[in-house]
Amino acid sequence: MDPHALRARRAGRLIEGIVAGAVESELVQLHGSIVAALELFPVPDAVELVFDPALQMLTGSARQCASVAMGEHLPLYFGLPAADRITLSR
């Protein structure tokens, strides 16, 4: 499979998870999709490919919920190597 197509497919699934989690108040799905995006992509790519598109699809309290959840996770990942991220999540 083409690496760009795989990347787009993964991003699309994560966007769906964030949107569904926020709309349906499924916080495990919401947070899980956010963490997965931050584990699969560098932070700037996660924001561009997953977080921004997801937020554009949301309105009102669902958008606020997703935005707050993203804000809770982003500081833990910004600039940290993968080995250090693992210890923070425990």
Q: For the chain, give the DSSP string.
A: --HHHHHHHHHHHHHHHHHHHHHTT-HHHHHHHHHHHHHHS-HHHHIIIIIHHHHHH--HHHHHHHHHHHHHHHHHHTT--HHHHHHHT-
Region 45-70: mean pLDDT is 96
Whether pLDDT at 82 is above 80: no
pLDDT: which is higher, 88 or 71: 71
38-70 exposure pattern, b = at least 16 Cβ within 10 A, e = fewer: beebebeebbebbbebbbeebeeebbebbeebb
Domain ranges of the chain: 3-88
Least confident piece of the model among 22-36, 49-63, 64-78 = 64-78
pLDDT band for position 4 (50/70/90)? Answer: confident
Condensed to tens digits (0 to 9), the pLDDT of residues 18-50 reads: 999 999 999 999 999 999 999 999 889 999 999
Whether pLDDT at 86 is above 60: no
